[in-house]
Copies of this chain bind each other. A is one copy, B any other.
Amino acid sequence: MKLAYWMYAGPAHIGTLRIASSFKNVHAIMHAPLGDDYFNVMRSMLERERDFTPVTASIVDRNVLARGSQEKVIDNITRKDKEENPDLIVLTPTCTSSILQEDLENFVTRASMDTKGDVLLADVNHYRYNELQAADRTLHQTVKFYLDKAKKKDELPTDKTEIPSVNIIGISTLGFHNQHDCTELKRLMAELGIAVNEVIPDGASVHNLKNLPRAWFNLVPYRELGMMTAEYLKSEFDMPYVDITPMGVVETARCIRKIQQVINAQGAEVDYEKYINNQTLYVSQAAWFSRSIDCQNLTGKKAVVFGDNTHAVAMTKILAREMGIHVVLAGTYCKYDSDWFREQVSEYCDEVLISEDNAEIGDAIARHEPSAIFGTQMERHVGKRLDIPCGVIAAPIHIQNFPIGYKPFMGYEGTNQIADLVYNSFTLGMEDHLLEIFGGHDTKEVITKGISAGSDLSWDKEATGELGKIPGFVRGKVKRNTEKFARERGFAVITLEVMYAAKESVGA
């Protein structure tokens, strides 16, 4: 057992469901007890998704447990097949139901006899893999399933697209700024004259998976999702892939140069240097920001970076290399891929921390006392406690990571957004500190005069206590309305009874 106050990555089935529900017209059946289907809540709430989440829980309760779940699972699969006509139904257990050690593979085989669509059991060990690993595996499994199927049916296209083209692999629902990153990557590819062959899994149809090999190369922007698929496509179809995350001016340029190399090797003749130069120096504002006086004042300031591999590595490089900020600690919660992390960041920071234990990270931050943190929501809260500003750069996702306005992290607009994030993280903190420095000199009385215009009423201890229990943000209002009520009715002392009477009368 592990005492856990916080988790950086979710359980495996969340990863599987992120893949399944990213595809168009794919339904997932979750074989699980009541309440385990909160994935639907997360998707609906965090992404403000307009459509019903295509995930149905086949509920395991005491009765099902007693009778065995085969019948119910198969019923639910075939029923959903009829109700929604999905191309594919993915069955997944959760941590709990996976313990039952049922022959789910057999359930799937049985069910698929009666379904028009395909049925697939997500093949993940729920105790060994987390959300990120499970997503990577499920995507690979799905892609392989459809490519094998096409191969068997001899439907695999053998040609490449006419102009250089790319599959963007790893864009998924509930991913950290994935939608905006994807838009930005599509824009970037368009500017490079590269056609987007497929984006998977988000918005993709499983029927189109067979077309994946037509692209000239695969782009895997996130280290956590898509590598298995890219490796598979490389080994099976000899498709090269580019796995340089185009985040920050330097790495975006490196990614574009790698793309150039990959497509020129296949007969294209492109030279992106002029494009890179123009974007870097004059279109994106990030390189100029790095050189500007604002950023000069950040030189040598200490920062701690923590997140998933993709974002923690990218931010560490950007801060250290592009902005001259001193990264005292860079860390990741992707323990399973820590060698890569170390290799990527070690020359850009003083110390590396690989951990899933938020207390350890909190302590490290307290020890370093950086001027800013770039981390997850968890680190943001650590920062709040320690009075250190924090920019959020990585999942676990939070509704604030699904902004309505355009906020990619990748590509050239991403470099702009990151520059703002860095600048605001440091300077909003700075503003508070400036106010603190001069605080004693900045008289606050005058402006607050308007709030409490000297009360002629007294509150007895009970009522005062009760008032104290009212949340701060409505307390002032309740106080004022209650006093108004008391004054109108001639009460000199406010008791609990007066408070409640006021509430009933004026909604105080």
Contact = CB atoms under 8 A, between A and B. Distances in A.
Report, as a range, how many residues of chain A touch the other chain: 35 or more
A434 to B, nearest CB: 8
A381 B110 CA distance: 66
Contacts of A473: 371, 387, 429, 433, 436
A181 to B, nearest CB: 14
A198 to B, nearest CB: 23
The A interface, classified by DSSP as helix, strand, loop or mixed, is: helix
Contact of A359 (B387, B423, B447): B447
A191 B52 CA distance: 32
Nearest to A45: B293
Given A385-B444, A403-B420, A477 B369 contact: yes
A472 B450 CA distance: 29
A446 B363 CA distance: 10
A433 B366 contact: no
B48 A448 contact: no
A451 to B, nearest CB: 5
B48 A288 contact: yes
Interface stretch (A77-85, A309-317, A411-419): A411-419
Given A385-B448, A400-B424, A48 B294 contact: yes
A387 B288 CA distance: 36
Contacts of A359: 446-447
A84 to B, nearest CB: 22
A437 B472 CA distance: 7
A367 B484 CA distance: 14
A248 to B, nearest CB: 13
Interface in A18-75: 45, 48, 50
Contacts of A382: 447
Given A371-B473, A387-B472, A472-B433, A420 B447 contact: no
Interface in A127-181: none
Nearest to A286: B404
A268 interface: no
A476 B420 contact: no
Contact of A48 (B289, B366, B433, B472): B289
Interface of A: 45, 48, 50, 285-286, 288-289, 292-294, 359, 362-367, 369, 371, 382, 385-387, 399-400, 403-407, 413, 416-417, 419-420, 423-424, 427, 429, 433, 436-437, 444, 446-451, 471-473, 476-477, 480
